[in-house]
A and B are shown apart, each in its own frame.
Chain A
Amino acid sequence: MKILELKDVSKVFYSKTQETDAVSHLTFDVNEGEFVAIIGPSGCGKTTILSLVCGLIAPTSGQVCLAPNSHVGYMLQRDQLFEWRTIEKNVQLGLEIMRKLTPENKQYADSLLKKYGLWEFRKHHPSELSGGMRQRAALIRTLATNPDLLLLDEPFSALDFQTRLEVCDDVYAIIRSEKKTALLVTHDISEAISLADRIVVLTARPATVLAIHEPKLNASSPLKRRESPDFSQQFELLHKYLHGENR
């Protein structure tokens, strides 16, 4: 079942001196349970796409269709944990905002904290946690509202390389075990290959779909995928797409 469908979506931003086509005639969809990655050159309007899906901005033309009664959870580049709240309270933030802080939902948030090893840290403040744990807390905050579609905006880019690989594995495992649909935006080709079932390759601004690629790597985790023999071939292919287009 399609959970998200973008039909011929364009977005133009206006400023005093110019108008900028951020996204132009974009069409793709995301099926339930799928992990889709969007890659494209830096500044090609990837974040704009997530804002459109999230409903934070409206498209200039075209349609963004979300399956009825489904809602999205947005995970930003940085964890954006609130320093004045404990981890527990940070995780409940979404529920508070949506006025859904019921005992059952609280219990669900607690169960996520327990399951993903943050339970002992629930009374700690974010600064007392490592970068990887913070990112995990941010993911749990997103999951606590039980979204049908997760939007991930380069969620690992603020981490150093070693941590990034670990957190990437971590986040992937959590998303899979919670059976969530995810839409990831990244400029990192290897990250896209190691995570996604399907990769939407975008052109430079204004972003439009250049190709849709399926890595089809049979490995259980992002780290294993990186070790798979097909990985470098896939990488080259996508690299050519991205950079051949630029020239």
Chain B
Amino acid sequence: MKNNFTREHLLYLRKKTIRKTLVHVAQIGVLLLLLGLWELAARLGWIDSFITSSPSRIWNTLVELIGNGTLWHHMGVSTAETLAGFAIGTAIGYTVAVILWWNAFLKDVFEPYVVVLNSLPKIALGPIIIIWAGTGTASIITMAVLISVVITTITILNGFIETDKEKALLLRSLGANRLQIFTKLVAPANVPTLMATLKINVGMAWIGSIMGEYLVSKEGLGYLLVYGSQVFRLDLVMTCTVVLCALAGVMYALVAILEKIVIKRY
């Protein structure tokens, strides 16, 4: 692009690149080192691989699960539940935030309820959810929604309230009504808040769906995890954990990319 950099500038840029590469190399190195140690310890009998499993056994299990198709099935089920919980939780949370922003009276009325709901450990609602929503997918999605919805409302509402008062004053001086203040100022100004919330909710929705599967399900990665531990197949448990890590990572990365695209202007 630009070739008229000074020598010092180029040197500076090279230093930056080298540092970045070093970080990446170190990151991969740490992973490989841990995996290597784990494998070595298992092979040499320092640890009991029946309890700890080992990278090679995880790999074999992974190949086996992919081979007979079970992995795709369980991954699909969990991902669908998570996405549903993520979408519904974010949508409801955002809507509630809009309502509470719109009407300060309602906000004051519901503030303590929101606070209590936020600090309540949602897992405690498990039994109630099972009785009300049954022992199927509905319960799992409900759990994912419950976990993400309150934090969404709180974060978004905070963003709404913190929106520049002077800018709202400008709009009011132009004769704007509440809807216009929302659509022209508060909503666009809080796109970054929404993006941050989406990132949080990826994690929240996964917690919810896996927790839900622990409670009720007959399928999904959470089910597979519980099943694996019950029949004492640690290879299966570890494999599921690795797959979960990968899935959550991918989903987070997708949201991060979306954020980068959307947020350029803020």
Q: Do A and B bind each other?
A: yes
**Interfacial residues, chain A to chain B (CB-CB below 8 A):** 54, 56, 72-74, 76-78, 80, 82-84, 93-94, 96-98, 125, 145, 151
- CB pair B185 A82 closer than 8 Å: yes
Give a binary string over B167-184; 1 marks a CB under 8 Å from any A CB, 0 the rest: 101111111100010001
Q: Does B8 contact A (CB under 8 A)?
A: no
Beyond A76-B166, A76-B169, A125-B265, whether A82 also contacts B188 by CB under 8 A is: yes
* Nearest CB in chain B: distance from A139 CB, A: 13
Q: Is B113 an interface residue (CB 8 A)?
A: no
With a cutoff of 8 Å between Cβ atoms, the chain A residues found around residue B175 in the complex are: 97-98
When C-beta atoms are compared, the residue in chain B nearest to A47 turns out to be B169
Q: How far is the CA of A100 from the CA of B204 in the complex (A)?
A: 44
Q: Which of A83, A84, A94, A125: most chain B Cβ within 10 A?
A: A84
Interface size for B (C-beta < 8 A) is: 19
- Contact, CB under 8 Å: B185 / A145: no
Q: Are A74 and B167 in contact (CB under 8 A)?
A: no
Contact assessment for A93 and B265 in the assembled complex, using a CB-CB cutoff below 8 Å: no
19 other A-B residue contacts (CB within 8 Å) besides A82-B185, A83-B266: A56-B172, A56-B173, A72-B173, A74-B169, A74-B173, A76-B169, A76-B170, A77-B166, A80-B164, A80-B166, A80-B167, A80-B170, A82-B184, A84-B188, A84-B265, A97-B171, A97-B175, A125-B265, A145-B174
> CA A30 – CA B51 in complex, angstroms?
87
Task: List residues of B whose CB falls within 8 A of some A CB.
Answer: 164, 166-167, 169-176, 180, 184-185, 188-189, 191, 265-266
Would you list 5 pairs from A and B whose C-beta atoms are within 8 A, ordered by A residue?
A: A73-B173, A84-B189, A84-B191, A84-B265, A98-B174
Residue in A closest to B171 when the chains form the complex, CB atoms: A97
Chain A residues with CB under 8 Å of B172's CB are: 56
3 smallest CB-CB distances across A and B, nearest first, come from A74-B173, A97-B174, A97-B176
Helix, strand, loop or mixed for chain A's interface? loop
A95 to chain B, nearest CB (A): 9
Q: Give chain B residues whose Cβ lies under 8 Å from the Cβ of A82.
A: 167, 184-185, 188-189
Chain A nearest CB, measured from B82 CB (Å): 30
- Chain A nearest Cβ from B264, distance in angstroms: 10
**A185, chain B: closest CB distance, angstroms:** 14
Distance between Cα atoms of A181 and B12 in the complex (Å):
55
Q: Which residues of B contact A76 (CB under 8 A)?
A: 166, 169-170
B residues near A96, Cβ cutoff 8 Å: 184
Minimum C-beta distance from A37 to chain B (A) = 19
Q: Which residues of A contact B164 (CB under 8 A)?
A: 80
CA distance A243 to B62 in the complex (A): 83
* B188-A56 in contact (CB<8A): no
A97–B173 CA distance with the chains assembled, in angstroms:
10
- How far is B175's CA from A93's CA once the two chains are assembled, in angstroms? 11
Q: How far is the CB of A226 from chain B (nearest CB, A)?
A: 29
Determine the distance from Cα of A78 to Cα of B170 in the docked complex, in whole angstroms.
Answer: 10
Instruction: Collect the chain A residues with CB atoms within 8 Å of residue B166's CB.
Output: 76-78, 80
Residues of B within 8 A of A78 (CB): 166
Q: Within the assembled complex, what's the spacing in Å between the Cα atoms of A80 and B163? A: 12
Shortest CB-to-CB span from B75 to chain A, Å, is 37
Q: Identify the interface centre among B170, B175, B184, B188: most chain A CB within 10 Å of its CB.
A: B170
Most chain B CB atoms below 10 A, which of A72, A94, A151: A94
Of B171, B173, B176, most A-chain CB atoms within 10 Å: B173
